Structure 1
């Protein structure tokens, strides 16, 4: 079903496709979007922007980019605005940074390594493989030319707080290397998320560039926290404005469409939405964990309490496959750990409201 949507020779499997094939669709547990759904005000702004689709969107991404910069750095956004670039989802920007890194190592085959955890979002490795990097295993102690870590890690739920993250980067990147830290799920941390994030570590980024010629990029896909995956909104914070300009040289013009720009301009003002997210996600996740372990106490649940999903080891591929099938039949698809991640006994389940969780738990009572 969803597997047939992807060209497996050229694309990496991703969740979020099955809903269109289900006549009895109720809720999508296969994607890690915010349980609240799309913010109403920002959605209305995107709808209104449709009336301007006979015009090109702003080539400089303004005023949306300034609005996003103000969200990231409320007190000193003007100082860092030049380091920010928006893109058509994080996927476009991932590819731009990988290609730019490749340019710097065109005399030999550069090396690439992912997070220290056994698996993470696959787009980074896919892009590195496509562009000819030599892929090293996470356990390989060698320093690499390009280091990519998803933090918090999707799907495993592992998380480095900011100081251990900085130490890990220093221990694994080669002089002159490129780092991408994907913090797409980090804003779920709390209202104080900026304090445990690389977005606030300006001095660290500056020192790594000036002393080691290591360029650190902080990547965000904004489509999860604001539940707007269909719009494709991403951003990257570069170590310097010069790095940002280099990416713009190879970025296609108008890659962020008009409705997406208007959505961003509006959504960063919706403080109540994020307050409700921080207030209830942890509670709803704990409820989901309790319900899952109530079915099978032997299941192992992975991930930090603040995250918008759980990574469940069901103990066997047979049970995980059956769980995926039963959820689909009930109209509440979950993410199998097999395609893409090759974690055969695992299933990823998004945090959702209690009534929607009831449907999933009922579907799994026969497991």
Structure 2
């Protein structure tokens, strides 16, 4: 059986290239022999069953508006983030329709603040990676920020870092990222740190996260009037990308209220709120995630290393051992294109590094179970 998307470059026809930034996860619409999606970095376990059932039940209430204050889902999420003192930080938390909505809110607020200070052309910088999730830069550019190269030594009015970096797999431990933020943001500037993939770190993920660095956030605010925001897209760790759930942790409750003023009401729908309310209680799901993801990732790499082209062409696997994907450099634009086509034809699409990222010799491969990975490895036997 062949793929309906055999001549389609990574599902690009689902995007308006003039107005939107390419994102993976669209090809299943076009593959008639679809088996598994290796193009998205979602949890290999799939959607948690209890939370999915809670969302299904909530569909029976869609004739009612969802809670405008996002409760009790927001309180349950706060308890998940800060198990010991969630009440202290609850006011700094805001949920949104995926992280993308919240990214745009913070960017718009940062632009207003920069122009209030008389800065006509505020600057934005990502990094320090050569590429990262593109929504931050897209929103900044759309709202009029001047985009600086990640290698620039200039302090920017707004800096955004994805840590761990999707797609490259780079990661800065907590003390290193704090140092990078201090060295790269301009006084009175705005910071966004995306920790969506940091949840895979371990059961002790909070210890190496900005979640528990409120004193640092306050010191940045008091010393340099820099506001630090921590972003989470919850759709990867809990494999619910179609539901659209994100959150932002602001430096203070006042910052959170300022975002809420420009957020459209009811941006998080009822089934999504019920999903979150249930999923944060699913300890078994997260424990399985932490127990098995690193093992499955190591297995995937060991199988990749058996492919003839791996040694002959010097392929390189990038990324931290705990991550839910492998960023693979096959050292050739032609080989990367062939790898993407072969995977798609076998019903197991991977993410090309070319559209969106401009990394023509790279492909991103999600961590999946051994029997699913075997299909991909078999498809690549001729590489």
Equivalent of residue 80 in structure 1, options 83, 89, 98: 89
Offset of residue 366 of structure 1: 1.2
Offset of residue 20 of structure 1: 1.1
Query: Whole-Å Cα distance in 1 between the matches of residues 228 and 380 of structure 2?
Result: 43
Matched residue, 1:340:
356
Task: Trace 1:218-237 onto structure 2 (pairs within 5 A).
Answer: 218-237=230-249
* 3-state secondary structure, aligned to 1:332: coil
Matched residue, 1:30:
39
Matched residue, 2:3:
none
Equivalent of residue 172 in structure 1, options 154, 163, 184: 184
* 3-state secondary structure, aligned to 2:54: helix
Task: Trace 1:264-303 onto structure 2 (pairs within 5 A).
Answer: 264-295=276-307, 296-297=310-311, 298-303=314-319
Matched residue, 1:305:
321
- Confirm or deny that 1:7 pairs with 2:23: no
Offset of residue 115 of structure 1: 1.1
Gaps of 5+ in 2: 1-7
Q: CA deviation digits over 1:75-116, x for unaligned, max 9?
A: 000000000000000000000000000001123110000011
- Confirm or deny that 1:89 pairs with 2:105: no
Q: CA deviation digits over 1:138-194, x for unaligned, max 9?
A: 110010100000000000000000000000000000110000000000010000000
Query: Whole-Å Cα distance in 2 between the matches of residues 301 and 139 of structure 1?
Result: 23
Query: Whole-Å Cα distance in 2 between the matches of residues 292 and 237 of structure 1?
Result: 38
* 3-state secondary structure, aligned to 1:155: coil
Matched residue, 1:148:
160
Query: Whole-Å Cα distance in 1 between the matches of residues 37 and 79 of structure 2?
Result: 32
- List, as ranges, runs of 4+ consecutive aligned residues in structure 1 with deviation greater than 2 Å: none
Matched residue, 2:66:
57
Matched residue, 1:241:
253
Matched residue, 2:272:
260
Q: CA deviation digits over 1:22-73, x for unaligned, max 9?
A: 1100000000000000000000000000000000000000000000000000
Offset of residue 260 of structure 1: 0.2
Equivalent of residue 220 in structure 2, options 190, 204, 208: 208
* 3-state secondary structure, aligned to 1:294: coil
- Confirm or deny that 1:315 pairs with 2:327: no
Offset of residue 294 of structure 1: 1.1
Equivalent of residue 263 in structure 2, options 230, 248, 251: 251
Query: Whole-Å Cα distance in 2 between the matches of residues 210 and 49 of structure 1?
Result: 43
TM-score (norm 1): 1.00
* 3-state secondary structure, aligned to 2:305: helix
Matched residue, 1:353:
369
Offset of residue 210 of structure 1: 1.1
Q: CA deviation digits over 1:269-316, x for unaligned, max 9?
A: 000000000000000000000111111132100000000000000010
Task: Trace 1:125-204 onto structure 2 (pairs within 5 A).
Answer: 125-204=137-216
Number of matched pairs: 367
Gaps of 5+ in 1: none
Offset of residue 335 of structure 1: 0.1
Query: Whole-Å Cα distance in 2 between the matches of residues 116 and 36 of structure 1?
Result: 31
